[in-house]
Amino acid sequence: MTATLEPPDILSAEFARDPYTAYRVLRDDFPLHFHEAMNTYVVSRYDDVRRAFRDPAFTSENYAWQLEPVHGRTILQMEGREHATHRALVAPAFRGRELTERFGPTIRRNSRDLVDAFRTAGHVDLVDAYATRFPINVIVDMLGLPRTDHDRFHAWYTSIMGFLGNLAGDEAVAAEGLRTKADFEAYMIPRIQERRAAPGDDLLSVLCAAEIDGESMSDEEIKAFCSLLLTAGGETTDKAIASVMRNLVAHPEQMAAVREDRSLIDAAFAETLRFSPPVHMIMRQPAEDVELSGGVIPAGATVTCLIGAANRDERHVERPDEFDVTRPGLGDAAFTAAADHLAFCLGRHFCVGALLSRFELDVGINDLLDAMADIRFADGEPPPETGVFTRAPDRLLLDFTPTGGTP
């Protein structure tokens, strides 16, 4: 008898250990299949995932059950004029001079403070000491909230990400996420009301004051956006920092090139977004029947788009399983809606915080390279990545030679 090949199970322990081998099988043999336990169609080829992000037939209505229970209603589930208006209200704070001049000093100070805490130690768990802290601390400070609340926000961030990554439906994880939503709302709404009454120079005041054609955001909408910013902005940058450093330490010749030419930090970040993206899957919901590689997805179904698989599709990119900071196409376009990789999504829902993440990575990797020479894995080998929905090393134990004082 001939065995029937089954698609890899994206909820299995084997998949969690090594999704990239499974991605290859999915792209080649199961580019579209239905995952019964998750009640979702799974797509893995670059052209199919790219279409799901750009084609108006694919909506974000799935976020009503996926995100709204823990965030409230956010910009991600809006469409049409409502989405365009809300995006225009928040986007200016995350680009150009508004980002670099208003919030640049905050970003640089937070990175420096964290690096200074281990600068002379000679060893560090970069995930615990830096990567998970830096973007959350930046968001708290950008919002103009007390720095003494950094740890509180870090705990909320961890809880919400647990809820969003709870693909197996663990009831305790779900309940904790819902408690966090209530706690976050109780904390944020009074502070939003305070900023309306007495604006400052922080992001929370900017969001309260933002207005287009007489439209502004309600307290609830601002709170929901802050919750989304905490997780979307925190998770991508957190895992990107850990993955960029892991990839560079694992490729000493590329680390040397980046250390010598710091303009290559952007390329290292862009290549990491392709090679080992922070977010491996995003969901969509078609408003009509849609034909993709391997079959038809019916209207109203949930579609899980495997970014981690699409970014390594050999039909689209040469040498997909190699990390290469000299790869063509890793310039400025990699941080715009014209990006070739899919890590920031594409189209109308392209990540509004992409340039914030780029700025943080540039500051952070520069600071880390300035503080640490001869960086090497403490255990002699690159640590494994963990996670399914989002993915990166959960520990990054590094030994290094301290460079001396603050540069």
Is residue 140, in this structure, part of any structural domain at all? Answer: yes
Range of the domain at 305: 13-402
pLDDT of res. 345: 87
Partner residues linked to 233 by β-bridges: none
- CA neighbours closer than 13 Å in the CB half-sphere of residue 179: 10
Report the distance separating Cα 63 and Cα 84, nearest Å: 17
pLDDT of res. 4: 55
Collect the ranges in the chain with pLDDT lower than 50.
1-2, 405-407
Contact 131, 239 (CB under 8 A): yes
pLDDT of res. 406: 45
pLDDT of res. 236: 86
Report strand pairing: 40-43 vs 303-306. parallel
Partner residues linked to 295 by β-bridges: 292
DSSP labels, 48-71: HHHHHHH-TTEE-TTHHHHTHHHH
Is residue 363, in this structure, part of any structural domain at all? Answer: yes
pLDDT of res. 2: 42
DSSP labels, 253-288: HHHHHHHH-TTHHHHHHHHHHHHS-SB-EEEEEESS
Q: Give the residue from 125, 161, 153, 123 showing the smallest Cα distance to 137.
A: 153
Distance of CA 38 to the CA centre of its chain: 22
pLDDT of res. 262: 96
**How do residues 218-247 score in pLDDT, each as one tens digit?**
999 999 999 988 888 888 899 999 999 999
**Number of domains comprising the chain:** 1
Is residue 145, in this structure, part of any structural domain at all? Answer: yes
Is residue 74, in this structure, part of any structural domain at all? Answer: yes
pLDDT of res. 77: 82
CATH code: domain of residue 241 = 1.10.630.10
Report the distance separating Cα 392 and Cα 246, nearest Å: 9
Is residue 3, in this structure, part of any structural domain at all? Answer: no
Is residue 5, in this structure, part of any structural domain at all? Answer: no
pLDDT of res. 85: 84
What does the block give as tokens for 330?
Answer: 């890793």
Is residue 345, in this structure, part of any structural domain at all? Answer: yes
- CA neighbours closer than 13 Å in the CB half-sphere of residue 94: 23
